[in-house]
Structure 1
Amino acid sequence: MDVTIRDAVEADAETLGSIVDLPADALRNVVHDRTVRLAVADESAAGPNADVAEGNEEAVLGFVAFDVRDGTVHVTQLAGDEGVAERLLAEPIRFAVNEGFDVEYVVTRSDEDAEAAARAAGFDPVGPGPRFDGEPTTRYRFRPDGD
């Protein structure tokens, strides 16, 4: 399946909320306060009659939200299967490389897709992170210089 990455807009908040089981208002704030990119199914690969299908809505496959604090890009949310998540992680990495920043991402240990995507995208585990809802996490870091 072909995937296109695009900027999220306020109208995407409802869809994003349904993906991560949060209220649309909370995701609307995320869209306003952070950089948010969506992975969507590439409509050009949908077939010759895709443009005449009823309810021709875009299929959102996942998203990444990130911001910058203290010279580090922080991935604050990531949703999607392993392949989509890896593609989405390329967005904060690209930004960080251009700015000379590291990227940090904290992943719950039960999120195997996110852990696999982080490793595949070049992140290294650097130790435990804070607990999220009582669940242990691992802190991952991507260093553009490879150190």
Structure 2
Amino acid sequence: MRIRDALESDAAALADLTGRPHDVVVDLVHDRSVRVAVRGPETRGSNGESREEQTTTAGDEHSGSDSDADSGDHSDADSGDIVVGFLAFDAGSEVVNVTDFGGTEEAVRRLFEEPRRFAERERMDVDVVVPNDDEDRIRIVEAAGFEAYGAGPRFDGGDTTRFRLDIGE
């Protein structure tokens, strides 16, 4: 699995992951910093076993395979990449806000490293708001080091919790 910037050509896969209309996802890719976790084309190793191509983008410090990425595969026909997760974020004056994320648990955990690195460079904290009834997302956010610090805004009629990863200072 590798992490790269989202492309407009990823919009169909992101729309599938989020359940949102294609146009909304295209706007997300244009308006936010969006990273995707992808599995690339398969290649054969020296022992003949199939292994994932381990090319990386600039700034990607990680490579490897994602054994649980078979659920939720979304191909980008242009590159052959299979999108297994995404994360969108933007930076305010004092905090980096994760505005959306989804995909396999392993992919999302890796993707949370992206806003963390940005926040560390800029000496900012990272915030994310999660619906209270979404136990899977809460577990992933907490596993990434975030701590609940208060109620978030109501979203689609439901309560949310604001989580923060303290990095600044």
Place the TM-score, normalised by the shorter chain, in its bin.
Answer: 0.7 to 0.9
How do residues 61-140 of structure 1 correspond to structure 2 at under 5 angstroms?
Answer: 61-140=84-163
Matched-pair contact (CA < 8 Å) for 1:82–1:116: no
Matched-pair contact (CA < 8 Å) for 1:83–1:117: no
2:13 alignment partner AA: T
Matched-pair contact (CA < 8 Å) for 1:81–1:113: no
2:89 alignment partner AA: F
> 54, 63, 81: which one pairs with 1:58?
81
Call closer, same or farther: CA 1:43–1:140 in 2, change over 3 Å.
Answer: same
Task: Return the offset for 1:50.
Answer: 8.1
Task: Return the offset for 1:23.
Answer: 1.1
How do residues 5-84 of structure 1 correspond to structure 2 at under 5 angstroms?
Answer: 5-44=3-42, 48=50, 57-84=80-107
Task: Return the offset for 1:57.
Answer: 3.3
* Structure with the bigger percentage of helix: 1
Gaps of 5+ in 1: none
Task: Return the offset for 1:49.
Answer: 8.9
Q: Deviations for 1:100-132, whole angstroms, at most 9, x for unmatched residues?
A: 011000001222222111111111110111111
Q: Deviations for 1:41-99, whole angstroms, at most 9, x for unmatched residues?
A: 24457854989xxx883221110000011321000000023322111111111100111
Task: Return the offset for 1:38.
Answer: 0.3
More displaced stretch, 13-22 vs 109-118: 109-118
User: How high is the TM-score relative to the length of structure 2?
Assistant: 0.75
User: How high is the TM-score relative to the length of structure 1?
Assistant: 0.85
- Distance in 1 between residues matched to 2:150 and 2:12, nearest whole Å: 34
Count matched residues. 141
CA RMSD of aligned residues (A): 2.4
1:90 alignment partner AA: E
Gaps of 5+ in 2: 54-76
Q: Identify the residue that residue 66 of structure 2 maps to in structure 1.
A: none
2:114 counterpart SS class: helix
- Distance in 1 between residues matched to 2:120 and 2:107, nearest whole Å: 20
